[in-house]
C-alpha cells in the first residue's frame, strides 16, 4: 500500500482567499519543490502526523508520518459539515497520482504553487477548487524564471475554471514584489481564473506598503476582479 508523508490533519476554516470562513478538513503533505523566502510552513520531514480529532481543542493524536489513502479518508471522515477538504503542504502536486486515487468526504480544494504541469494534468478531474499561487522572481531559489513562469501558465491552462471547477490565483505581495511582473502574469492567465487574490505577506521583514498594494489592485481591476485578503486564520490563532 502506498504511503505519503503528511504532517497534519485537522478541521478549521479556510483562512485565505475567496472561501475565507468555509469549514474545511486540512491535509498537509510534506515536501516541496520550491523554497519560498516567505514560506510560513516547515518543509522538513516530521516525526509524526498530528491529528486534531476535536476541532480547535489543541489536542493532537500522533499518527505515523507516512499515511495511506484509507488513513486520510478515515481521518477526514471524522469531521462533519465540510465545505471541502483542503490538500495543502508543502506541495501536494508532488503526490498527484496518490491524490487522484483519494475518496474524500467533501469536494477537493487544492492549494498549489502551480509549477508542476504534468502533475496538474493528473489531478485535473479530481479537484473542485484550485487556489493557484504565482511565484514571482526572487521569491524562490534556482530555476530559470522564463521556464518557471511557462510552467505556471501551463498549470493554469490545465486547472482553469470551468463548470465543475473554480480556479483562482493567489499572489503573496512583499515589499520586493515588482508590480509590472504581477500585471504581466495576470494578463496571461486572466481567462483561466475567477479572480485574483493579493495576499499581503504575514510576519515578515518585507511587509507590504499599503499604498503600493492598493495601487496594484487598482491596476489589476482593469483586467480581472481583484481582492486584497490577508491570512485571517493567523489573526485569531486558528490552525
Ligand atoms: C504553505 S503554502 C502550501 C501550498 C503551495 N505550496 C503554495 O505555495 O501555494 C499555502 C499558502 O500559504 C501562502 N503563504 C506562505 N507563507 C506566507 C506568508 N508568510 N504570508 C502570506 N502567505 C503565505 C502561500 O503563498 C500559499 O498561498
Ligand atoms: N485556516 C487555515 N487556512 C489556510 N489556508 C491555506 C492554508 C495553508 O497552509 O495552505 C491554511 C492553513 O494552514 N489554515
Ligand atoms: S511553494 Fe508553498 S510550501 Fe513550497 S516553499 Fe513556497 S510557500 Fe512554502
Ligand atoms: Mg498556511
- Residues shown for the chain: 239
pLDDT confidence of residue 204: 73
Mean pLDDT, range 205-210, rounded to an integer: 83
Q: Is the pTM of this model over 0.80?
A: yes
pLDDT confidence of residue 145: 93
pLDDT confidence of residue 88: 98
Q: Looking at ligand 1, which atom is closest to the CA of residue 133?
A: 9
The separation between the first and the last C-alpha atoms of the chain, rounded to the nearest angstrom, is 30
Which of the four pLDDT bands, split at 50, 70 and 90, describes residue 141?
confident
Strands of 64-209, DSSP E: 66-67, 84-88, 108-112, 129-133, 166-173, 196-200
Ligand 1: does its nearest atom lie under 6 Å from the Cβ of 139? no
Distance CA 175, CA 153 (A): 24
Strands of 14-127, DSSP E: 23-29, 49-52, 60-63, 66-67, 84-88, 108-112
- Using only the alpha carbons of the chain, give its radius of gyration: 17
pLDDT confidence of residue 182: 98
Mean pLDDT, range 177-186, rounded to an integer: 97
Residue 30, pLDDT above cutoff 80: yes
Fold of 4-235: TIM Barrel (3.20.20)
Instruction: Quote the percentage of the chain above a pLDDT of 90.
Output: 92
Protein residue with least CA distance to atom 11, ligand 2: 15
Q: What interface predicted TM-score (ipTM) does this complex get?
A: 0.99
pLDDT tens profile 52-86: 999 999 999 999 999 999 999 999 999 999 999 99
Q: Looking at ligand 3, which atom is closest to the CA of residue 172?
A: 7
CA 182 to chain CA mean position, Å: 18
Amino acid at each position: 500500500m502506498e504511503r505519503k508523508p503528511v504532517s497534519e490533519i485537522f478541521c478549521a476554516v479556510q483562512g485565505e482567499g475567496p472561501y475565507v470562513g468555509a469549514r474545511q478538513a486540512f491535509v498537509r503533505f510534506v515536501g516541496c519543490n520550491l523554497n519560498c523566502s516567505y514560506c510560513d510552513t516547515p518543509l522538513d520531514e516530521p516525526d509524526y502526523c498530528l491529528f486534531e480529532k476535536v476541532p480547535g481543542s489543541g489536542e493532537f493524536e500522533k499518527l505515523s508520518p507516512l499515511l495511506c489513502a484509507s488513513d486520510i479518508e478515515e481521518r477526514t471522515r471524522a469531521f462533519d459539515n465540510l465545505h471541502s477538504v483542503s490538500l495543502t503542504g508543502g506541495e501536494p502536486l508532488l503526490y498527484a497520482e496518490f491524490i487522484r486515487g483519494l475518496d474524500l468526504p467533501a469536494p477537493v480544494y487544492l492549494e498549489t504553487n502551480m509549477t508542476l504541469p504534468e502533475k496538474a494534468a493528473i489531478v485535473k478531474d479530481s479537484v473542485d477548487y484550485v487556489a493557484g499561487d504565482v511565484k514571482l522572481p526572487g521569491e524562490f531559489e534556482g530555476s530559470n524564471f522564463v521556464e518557471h513562469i511557462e510552467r505556471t501558465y501551463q498549470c493554469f491552462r490545465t486547472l482553469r475554471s470551468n463548470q465543475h471547477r473554480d480556479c483562482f490565483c493567489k499572489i503573496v505581495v512583499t515589499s520586493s514584489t515588482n508590480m509590472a511582473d504581477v500585471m504581466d502574469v495576470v494578463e496571461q492567465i486572466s481567462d483561466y481564473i475567477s479572480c485574483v487574490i493579493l495576499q499581503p505577506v504575514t510576519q515578515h521583514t518585507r511587509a507590504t506598503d499599503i499604498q503600493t498594494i492598493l495601487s496594484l489592485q487598482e491596476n489589476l481591476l482593469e483586467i480581472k476582479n481583484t481582492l486584497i485578503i490577508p491570512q485571517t486564520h493567523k489573526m485569531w490563532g486558528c490552525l
